[in-house]
Structure 1
Amino acid sequence: MRSLAAGPLNDVVVIDLTTMLAGPFATMVLGDLGADVIKVEPPHGDFIREQGPFAPDDELRAFGGYFQSVNRNKRSVVLDLTTEEGRASLLDLVAHADVVVENFRHGVMDRLGLSYERLQEKNPHLVYAAIRGFGDERTGSSPMRDWPAYDITVQAVSGLMEITGEPDRPPIKTGPGLGDTVPALFAVIGLLSAVHRARRDGVGGFVDVSMYDAMLAMCERAVYQHSYTGEVPTRQGNSHPLLCPFDVVPAADGWVSIAAPGNKHWQQLCAAIGRPELATDERTRDNVSRLANRDFTMSAVTAWTTTRTKDQIVETLGGKVPVAPVNTVEDIYADPHVRARNMLVEVDHPGVSHPLTIANSPIKFADAPPTHVRRAPLLGEHTDEVLAQFDNTTAAFQLEETR
């Protein structure tokens, strides 16, 4: 059996043509799993390189925290795909690759003469993955096919924002860019499935993930609620339309989440808050009853939580009832779970005298040590190295032109 020491995908070569967040997040996951991710950038680099945030003592400003976080474990090659030389160099790389990932708007690669069909001619085993706002005509042409899209765009159109926020208040997008990262994860699942098929059957394929589709799939509850009941779900804060208690409640010094919709957890919660009679009260004895009497149920819970600190609540309920404090990032840096799981990792940053911290991969393997996280690459840092490795003799740009 092949060793996992360098990651289970250590024999997979990925040509990364992505920018911004959705595509780079997908290829970052592949790089975290050991794939050789070759990030192909235009002469001016990925737009995100310039966006920060930058460390106060970073005078080089080759890239900021945003780029560092989602472009770790990659090598950077500069090619100008608007030139014949650049396209020829890309085709040479594709001939040796397992996967190509891009998140351009629909038709961009086709206009460059680098369509899926052209790349497949060069490498019949190639898996080509596209992440676009509204998908590709190869799998179903949307009337919005040519529209640009960002995280906030697809959070809005998919219905996620309609069910996020407080009643009678404007819709709210989620804090992190789920409109990008969720489609990225779906793309990783799809392309790894296609790689498996390519190695089994010798047939590559085109994997298409629409950001809109991915977010709609994530909002599955709203779909079946409407089908089964005819209702149009909307914002209801942190509570759940089908479960109770399942909410964020006030503590004396902040907020905690408590979820006890199952009868066993509800009974344990009732005992802990000194209200054992609620476990058999007809208004609260089961989840259906608690939903019908949500205000009464939650008032009993909050009467107890508001007189105690977050730490006191967690100490009482932890390990018995699903409970968690609403953490700030400072809390997360101090959390023993985060340390035990190695979820914060330090990386070098060019131009900065000390390591900086990014979130680590959550994917762990019991039979392999954690892989070393390599910092994000400088623009064109690996151009000569990669082109030589893949026996390419024509570089679109000399290395000094990329620095």
Structure 2
Amino acid sequence: MTVSAAGPLSGVKVLDLTAMLAGPFTTMLLTDLGADVVKVEPESGDRTRGLGPYRTGDDREQALGGYFQSVNRGKRSIVLDLKSEAGRARFLELVGVADVVVENFSAGVMERLDLSYEALTEVNPGLVYAALRGFGDARSGRSPYEEWPAFDIVAQAMGGFAGITGPKDGPPLKSGPGIGDIFPGTLLALGIVAAVRHAEQTGRGQFVDVAMYDAVLALCERIVYQHSYLGIAPRPEGNGHPLLAPFDIMQTSDGWVAVAAPSNKHWRILAETMGRPDLADDPRFADNAARVANVAEVREVLGGWLAGRPTAAVIDALGGRVPIGPVNDAADIFKDPHVHQREMLVDVEEPGSGTPVTIAGSPIKFSRTPAAVRGRGPKLGEDDAQTVLDQWSSPASENTNPSMTGGDDGGS
């Protein structure tokens, strides 16, 4: 694929020191929005380069694994040894013309390399320096866990998500997707965009810090006010909701559907569709508060009706009238016209293969400056640091993202 339209962050130059998922997801969002993101990798590369999965028959020497391809699409890659004098010097040259540096190293790594925020802002006072760690950076507030390593599952556990997820009265459960990485990465991208705007207005950069723990806690905001207002520590609720009913994932005769009808209007439609119009005026179910108080009976009545009907029939009867949807697996999603019409499944080149691979598209839509997947992920060291420096130092770089033009860095 080749994307020619400039995104809203066209001209923003980003040095990406991140690896694994959280940091690369941050910079992936910036890339989709049009920024020129250059991964600065050691000779061994981002650790996810070797994680796969790979397709049968693809050339493993050239192919990019799914993990890496998905969140590093549209970026460029240079190899620098930041522990060497030459590598550090070249990096500082790039910092001098960059707008943003993003890193997700453990606390103290950049300081030991003599590449701290303070050192980099001496080179470029307008630089936005963004850091993502498990428990944040001391510049924003000391944490007793500052030196602890963290992965997605740790953030989900400590931030409150796992403690309210899973079967009612059951053990805690992590989410399917890596929200402990992806949500902090999303918030960091938002922080970067805000800081870039401020820098454009004032000429002054700043330090942007997101802790994975903090981000997951923000995601779980409901447990905070429940504890404050009610003095309770919420526990797993299964697929239900403590404040809304019906609000559940329930079984049909051949699958599962999500159904939410907490408003009286939607409850009445649901009751009439079930052939039970009397339920709309029944005092036990007269409003949302009553339905929450009698949620076991709500589930019994609704569950019994759903269990006798296939998913397609339920969707035909209620789709567009009540908030409802099937529980899709990946194969279902690939067949859904919605994701194709909204370009949420995007084919990109797979190096060493004539057959493209499919990755998730950008969910952010603009009418004038489109966000888009701007090409495949980069091969390790595919780009040259001097070339990047020359391009970024050129006045034309203010309005151009080289990755939009196709060529070696674009897709097929």
Q: How far off is 1:251 after superposition?
A: 0.2
1:257 alignment partner in structure 2: 258
Contact 1:54 1:61 in 2 (8 A): no
Letter in 1 for 2:53: P
Q: Tell me the residue number matched to 2:404.
A: none
Structure 1 residue 118 corresponds to structure 2 residue 101: no
Could you tell me how far 1:55 is from its partner in structure 2? Answer: 1.0
The answer on whether the counterparts of 2:134 and 2:150 sit within 8 Å (CA) in structure 1 is yes
Partner of 2:50: 50
2:226 is matched with: 225
- Give the TM-score, by structure 1 length: 0.94
Aligned match of 1:389: 391
SS in 2 for 1:308: coil
Distance across 2 between alignment mates of 1:132 and 1:36 = 23
For the 8 Å contact 2:13–2:392, the answer to whether it is kept is no
Residues in 1 aligned to 2:49 and 2:220: alpha-carbon distance in whole angstroms: 32
Alpha carbons 1:6, 1:371 under 8 Å: kept: no
Q: By how many angstroms is 1:351 displaced?
A: 2.0
Aligned AA (2:254):
D
The separation in 2 between residues aligned to 1:342 and 1:216, in whole angstroms, is: 31
CA distance in 1, matches of 2:177, 2:37: 24
2: CA distance between counterparts of 1:165 and 1:372?
34
- The alpha-carbon deviation at position 191 of structure 1 amounts to 1.1
Deviation at 1:371, TM superposition (A): 4.0
**Which residue of the partner structure matches residue 14 of structure 2?**
14
1: distance between equivalents of 2:330 and 2:120?
A: 43
**How far, CA to CA, are the matches of 1:311 and 1:367 in structure 2?**
37
CA shift, 1:368, in A, is: 4.4
The residue aligned with 1:357 is: 358
- Specify the code of the residue in structure 2 equivalent to 1:51: L
The answer as to 2:92 corresponding to 1:91 is yes
Are residues 1:177 and 2:192 paired? Answer: no
CA offsets 1:304-362 (integer angstroms, 9 cap, x no match) = 11111111001100001000000010000000111111100000111223001000010
Q: CA deviation at 1:387?
A: 4.0
Name 1:32's counterpart in structure 2: 32
- Whole-angstrom distance in 1 between the partners of 2:370 and 2:40: 29
1:197 matched to 2:202? The reply is no
Change (3 A) 1:372 1:192: closer
What one-letter code is carried by the residue in structure 1 that aligns with 2:309?
Answer: R
* Aligned partner of residue 95 in structure 1, secondary structure: helix
Secondary structure of the residue that 2:283 maps to in structure 1? coil
The SS at the match of 2:97 is: coil
SS in structure 2 opposite 1:114?
Answer: coil
Contact 1:252 1:306 in 2 (8 A): yes
In the aligned structure 1, how far is the partner of 2:341 from the partner of 2:324? 19
Q: Match of 1:395?
A: none
Which amino acid is 2:51 matched to?
A: Q
CA–CA distance in structure 2, aligned partners of residues 298 and 369 of structure 1: 43
CA deviations over 1:152-184 (Å, ceiling 9, x no partner): 011111111010100232211000000000000
- Residues 94-143 of structure 1, C-alpha deviation per residue, up to 9 Å, x if partnerless? 11111110000011001100000000000000000000000001010101
Does residue 316 of structure 1 match 2:317?
A: yes
Distance 1:15 1:296 in 2: 56
TM-score, with length taken from structure 2: 0.92
Q: Distance in 1 between matches of 2:194 and 2:226?
A: 31
Match for residue 244 of structure 1? Answer: 245
- Tell me the residue number matched to 1:216: 217
Aligned alpha-carbon RMSD (Å): 1.4
Q: How far apart, CA to CA, are the structure 2 residues paired with 1:149 and 1:102?
A: 15
Structure 1: runs of 5 or more not aligned:
393-403
User: Aligned equivalents of 1:368 and 1:102: distance in 2?
Assistant: 27
User: Which of the pair has the greater relative contact order for Cα pairs under 8 Å at 6+ separation?
Assistant: 2
Structure 1 residues 364, 207: closer, same or farther in 2, change over 3 A?
same
Structure 1 runs of 4+ aligned residues shifted over 6 Å read none
Aligned pairs, how many?
389
Distance 1:269 1:67 in 2: 44
Separation in 1, partners of 2:180, 2:60: 31
Please give the alpha-carbon distance, in whole angstroms, between the structure 1 residues aligned to 2:179 and 2:128: 25
Q: CA deviation at 1:271?
A: 1.2
Query: Which 10-residue stretch deviates more, 361-370 or 377-386?
Result: 361-370
Q: Which segment is superposed worse, 369-378 or 195-204? A: 369-378
Deviates more, 1:94-103 or 1:370-379: 370-379
